[in-house]
Chains A and B, each alone.
Chain A
Amino acid sequence: MCRSMSVSMSVRCPLDTKGSAVAGLAKRLSLIFKAKASKAIDRAEDPRETLDYSYEKQLELLQKVRRGVADVATSRKRLELQMTGLQQQSDKLQNQAQKAIGAGREDLAREALTRRSGLQAQMGDLQAQHAQLDQEEQKLITASQRLSSKVESFRTRKETIKATYTAAEAQTKIGEAFSGISEEMSDVGLAMQRAEDKTATLQARSGAIDELLASGALEDASSSGRGDDIQRELDALGSSSDVELELAKLKGELPAGAPAKQIEAPPAGAEAAQPQQSTQQSPQQPTQQPGEAQP
């Protein structure tokens, strides 16, 4: 009945006692974890030493998990800072779009909104990653609390066994507790690996976003990267309208009846008078070209 599918699946063979074609996955996994634990016990000369060694390993793992929680929290906070940064950029583009519309520049407003939607997509991505990290963090916190309880429970059991039983007796007494804590450690170890993998991937990506934010290139995510050209155009629009305002103000301040017309519109031909004058002044040099330097 032991139908071998592959070397890696060989653990299921002893399970195939009920005649089913394929042993359940959960049963196979349980046996793998148990096999791992019993190997560790069998290796030791005196099982009581195994208890101390395992306890040390448990404490190490507990420390590692607590550091893991801190690492994930750091990554999560970094993501939050980046999300704030992107939100500020996005708000700025929104303001720019409003100003551009106010100035009658629909093209600029469109450009700003296009870039803003690019940022919004990035932010959506970051939000999803943030939710993932948050979940990992919670899982690790729960795992570390559970492991902590089990480690304490194991310590008590270990002391009792060491004080009460001979080496030979201890072997049978520690079996279940040892398998139990070993299984927990394997589970927590897997959770740690997963969390480390996730934070490593995120750190690489958030590093890239940090660089983008720092270089200001995100402001031009959909453009040629010439700096904040929308703002430049808006500033130009702003300053020219300021000039108009100042002009209007100055005109308003002029006393009634003053020769405003001369300021507003110089007499026709006034501009042409200058070149006329210069040709009159230098009739002796008719051949001089405009580009040539004066002697």
Chain B
Amino acid sequence: MIVRILGEGQLSVPDVEMTGLNELDDALGEAVESGDETRFRSALAALLGRVRQVGAALPDDALKPSELVLPGPESDLDDVRDLLGEEGLIPG
């Protein structure tokens, strides 16, 4: 499975990690719904930490879409709302 951390690039994560990452991702989704910034930041840090721990950087010339796209470590809830809000806000 390929995971992107926005601003940092893509990592290849072994498929056996998928269940664990999905659970952390669901927790992150719930944190976003709750609108609780502290909860969001700790859920994001947990997921980013896990991805970095088990993932290996994908080669620069790889051309593969990601199954998970994570906000960068400095993102806050407003950044996430911007990303979710309108597709038009995502450039490219």
In whole angstroms, what is the CA distance A269 to B33 when docked? 96
Q: Which of B12-64 contact A (CB under 8 A)?
A: 21-22, 24-26, 28-30, 32-33, 47, 59-64
Residues of chain B at the chain A interface (Cβ within 8 Å): 3-4, 6-7, 9, 21-22, 24-26, 28-30, 32-33, 47, 59-71, 80-81, 83-87, 90-92
* Chain B positions within 8 Å of A8 at CB level: 81, 84-86
Does A73 count as interface, using CB distance less than 8 angstroms? no
Q: Are B65 and A179 in contact (CB under 8 A)?
A: yes
Q: A26-B69, A150-B63, A176-B63 are in contact. List 8 more A-B contacts (CB 8 A).
A: A24-B68, A30-B68, A30-B69, A33-B69, A36-B90, A152-B61, A153-B61, A185-B91
Interface string of A123-142 (1 = CB under 8 A from B): 00000000000000001001
A190 and B90 contact, Cβ closer than 8 Å, known pairs A29-B70, A30-B67, A153-B61: yes
User: How many contacting A-B pairs (Cβ < 8 A)?
Assistant: 137
A5 and B33 contact, Cβ closer than 8 Å, known pairs A26-B68, A183-B69, A189-B90: yes
* Chain A positions within 8 Å of B91 at CB level: 185-186, 189-190, 192-193
Does A25 count as interface, using CB distance less than 8 angstroms? yes
Contact of A33 among B9, B28, B65, B71 (CB under 8 A): B65
Q: Distance in Å from the Cβ of B41 to the closest Cβ of chain A?
A: 13
* Chain A positions within 8 Å of B29 at CB level: 12, 22-25, 27-28
Q: Distance in Å from the Cβ of B50 to the closest Cβ of chain A?
A: 11
Q: Distance in Å from the Cβ of A257 to the closest Cβ of chain B?
A: 85
Q: Which residue on chain A has the smallest CB distance to residue B43?
A: A25
Which of B7, B32, B63, B83 has the most chain A CB within a 10 Å cutoff?
B63
Does A20 count as interface, using CB distance less than 8 angstroms? yes
* Chain A positions within 8 Å of B80 at CB level: 25
A180 and B63 contact, Cβ closer than 8 Å, known pairs A24-B26, A27-B25: yes
Interface pairs A-B: 4 shortest CB-CB: A24-B25, A189-B91, A185-B92, A149-B60
Q: Which residue on chain B has the smallest CB distance to residue A147?
A: B60
In whole angstroms, what is the CA distance A190 to B86 when docked? 14
* Chain A positions within 8 Å of B69 at CB level: 26, 29-30, 32-33, 183
A11 and B84 contact, Cβ closer than 8 Å, known pairs A32-B90, A146-B60, A191-B7: yes
Q: Which residue on chain B has the smallest CB distance to residue A20?
A: B26
Does A9 count as interface, using CB distance less than 8 angstroms? yes
